[in-house]
Chain A
Amino acid sequence: MRLLLDSVTRVVNGQSHLYAMSLTLKPGLNVLLGPTQAGKTSLMRLIAGLDRPTTGRVLVDENDVTGLPVQQRNVAFVYQQFINYPSMTVFENIASPLRVQKRFGPDELKQRVHSAAAMMRIDHLLDRLPAALSGGQQQRTAIARALVKQAPLLLLDEPLVNLDYKLREELRTELGQIFAERDAIVIYSTTEPLEALMMGGNTLVLDKGELLQMGPTLSVYHNPVVQRVAEVFSDPPLNVISAIFEGGRVLLSGAVAFPLSPHMAALPGGLYHIGARPTHVALHAKSTRDIQVPAWIELVEINGSETIVHADHRDGSGGEFHLVAQLRGVHTFGYDQQTTLYLDPQRLFVFDQTGTLVAAPARNGNDAQRQEDA
């Protein structure tokens, strides 16, 4: 099955929820990544047929389905809130889409329900009512109900956001494996870049109703075409620092300057934005090339296995910028402590004033110019 969106827009009460976008989706996993209010749910509802696009067409396998309501399209949808029929058992819940189709005898129905339940590991709960299940089990039921339909189009709208993080971790891996085995177009929306990276497949980056970039996940991650894509695809937020390129050197502030790295060498002088991922900001220099940034620590967050440090750099002449560093392991700091943070110049992104990417760090084996560490 191929899904084509042809210049679709969606305007509600004069406000644009989606700006014109055209895209083609083939079977496989597609992740919709974007912050809240980016238009992910609007786009998914459009694809499913729950809403009509204000302009543009939706085509399935060359057929125009724009005016077709969702009941006539073969779609399965999983919501954020655990939506199950409260008065039906888990078995009946999962069986309901099959019963509507009226195509299956009782034995085949039972077999399909059991198989979907086993896939979601809830086959021991088939007699219970949704109210007697935990949040994770309820969402598994909803997902099983979507899977049993074997629809060629499966949409999941932030399905794990209301579960605690350990359950999210477990379900993410399970879901990734389940989707890999299907021959359907799976669209999975999320606000967390890590989920996109973990699920793989293709990623569509949305922000404020615009489709910014679409492509294989890692490729979008390592080569964001515009600054906004890099910002959306980064949690903690990407460090963006204004810089002046002049005379072969980069000036970040009065006190922080460094020579142009090989991947930036070809750029003309002028004003740019430097992007540094928090994981590439370190407490210790890894080589003599690393840029030193003296900074005052504002806040430290610990998330189990990593420490996230929020620091401010201020030089005497009024230049200042904020840096977020993501460090492995658990570190403690004193309040308002001064420290030095290090940036690896070979890992910096460069965006021009319009936000377009003009230089990206070299990747392993891709760029022969990449220097070896001493």
Chain B
Amino acid sequence: MAEVLLRGLAHSYKPNPGKPADYAVRPLEMTWEDGGAYALLGPSGCGKTTLLNIISGLIKPTQGNVLFDGKDVTELPTEKRNIAQVFQFPVIYDTMTVFDNLAFPLRNRDVQPADVGRRVQEIAELLELTADLKRRASGLSADIKQKISLGRGLVRSDVAAILFDEPLTVIDPHLKLVLRSKLKQIHRQFNLTLIYVTHDQTEALTFADQVVVMFEGGVVQVGTPQQLFETPAHTFVGYFIGSPGMNLLSARLLAGRVCIGDIPLPIDPGSLHLVPGDELVVGIRPEFVRYSAVATPDALPVQIVRVEDLGNYQIVTAKVGEQLVKAKIDEDAQIKTGEAWLHFPAERLGLYLNGKALSSAQPVVI
């Protein structure tokens, strides 16, 4: 178990990085608490794998330090850091049996045979591999092989953190669920710090207690799945999480009110320290937009241009001035194209300036 602290950490492939775009991982400060389950979520190229490899020691950061429980491990190679890593495709020793695979890390550290046997049996039982212990590792299916990879990390009693690099990539879809629940079970039982890299929002949000969303090398938000859904701190989080993503509409300050086009929104702008001329973006998730066939106070008049029936729900695309808004509506609602009204509940609206949410500055200390 370990608390992982990243201090002034950054990484660049250029010798003299100047602008943020030169960095693969932009300068950041972060604390990963002991025993937490974290996910690093972001699109390809956002820097999540680089960050993971810096924590595991496979890459040395060009700036900053990595500390495990207060001890500076930045200069230490992977094998000295008490971490285990599970890769995208299963890494196992073909010529050995499952038992020997699991025992390998212990035997390399000169653990007594009796202890090796006991520990391997414990972990095999946890991962439901007991029946396969005597079999050769090479002929087994991908999900069992990944369990073995995971098991090799769990057998060691000195493991502080387990890092996962998109581990379910090669697993059959119907087995992914089984492995995901296994990971949650392990987290509950061992209380290890787990860090999981993925570009799949379902994997990240299901697995982690705290999700670190990354974009273009920077961390844009750290929060629980609920926070990421309900209060995205960055327009990218609004876009990336949820399907379809958040509606992002251009707005501006007109006559003291925040307006989309000419239509004022039900928000009090006084608290927001806005300057006339600021380019604002208003965000609201399609799930929270309410439809009404008749005018109601505080509702915006729109033109419904498309209604898609997706079986369980409908997606309504409407034009607000020149911009498009999507709303997720119940399957039973009868909606026709043409004139309608959409209500944006004030508590569900997010205001963004230059991508960042205005209501609060979210610190990245968890």
Q: Which residues of A contact B230 (CB under 8 A)?
A: 330
CB distance from B229 to the nearest CB of A (A): 5
A interface, over-half SS: mixed
Report whether A169 and B200 are in contact in the complex, using a CB–CB cutoff of 8 Å: no
Query: A167 — nearest CB in chain B belongs to which residue?
Result: B43
- Interface flags, B17-59, vs A, CB<8A=1, else 0: 0000000000000000000000000011100000000000000
CB-based contact A218/B311 at 8 Å = yes
Contact indicator A304/B242 (Cβ below 8 Å): yes
The answer to whether B226 has its CB under 8 Å from any CB of chain A is: yes
Identify which of B177, B229, B243 contacts A330 (C-beta below 8 A).
B229
CB distance from B136 to the nearest CB of A (A): 27
Q: Which residues of B contact A332 (CB under 8 A)?
A: 224-226
A304 CA to B245 CA in the complex, in Å? 9
Given A197-B309, A335-B188, answer yes or no on A301-B202 (Cβ-Cβ < 8 Å): yes
Interface size on B, as a range, is 35 or more
Q: Which of A286-317 contact B (CB under 8 A)?
A: 298-305
If A165-B243, A166-B245, A279-B313 touch, does A304 touch B202 (CB 8 Å cutoff)?
yes
Instruction: Decide if the interface of chain B is mainly helix, strand, loop or mixed.
Output: mixed
Q: Which of A177-194 contact B (CB under 8 A)?
A: 193-194
| A221 CA / B332 CA spacing, docked (Å) | 15
Residue B201 at the A interface, CB < 8 A?
yes
CB proximity of B110 to chain A, nearest CB, Å? 38
Q: Is the CB of A305 within 8 A of B243?
A: yes
Whether a CB of chain B sits under 8 angstroms from the CB of A108 is no
Query: Bound complex: CA of A364 vs CA of B184, how far in Å?
Result: 41
Is B240 at the interface (CB under 8 A from chain A)? Answer: yes
Contact A279 B229 (CB under 8 A): no
Residues of A within 8 A of B242 (CB): 304-305
Interface range for A: 20 to 34
B180 to chain A, nearest CB (A): 7
Distance in angstroms from A163 CB to nearest chain B CB is: 10
Chain B residues in 8 Å Cβ range of A200: 308
A328 at the interface (CB under 8 A from B): yes
B177 engages A301 (CB within 8 Å): yes
| 20 extra A-B contacts, CB within 8 A, seeds A303-B201, A304-B202, A305-B242 | A135-B44, A164-B199, A166-B43, A166-B239, A169-B244, A197-B309, A198-B310, A221-B311, A277-B312, A298-B181, A299-B180, A299-B184, A300-B206, A303-B206, A304-B201, A304-B205, A304-B229, A329-B229, A330-B229, A332-B226
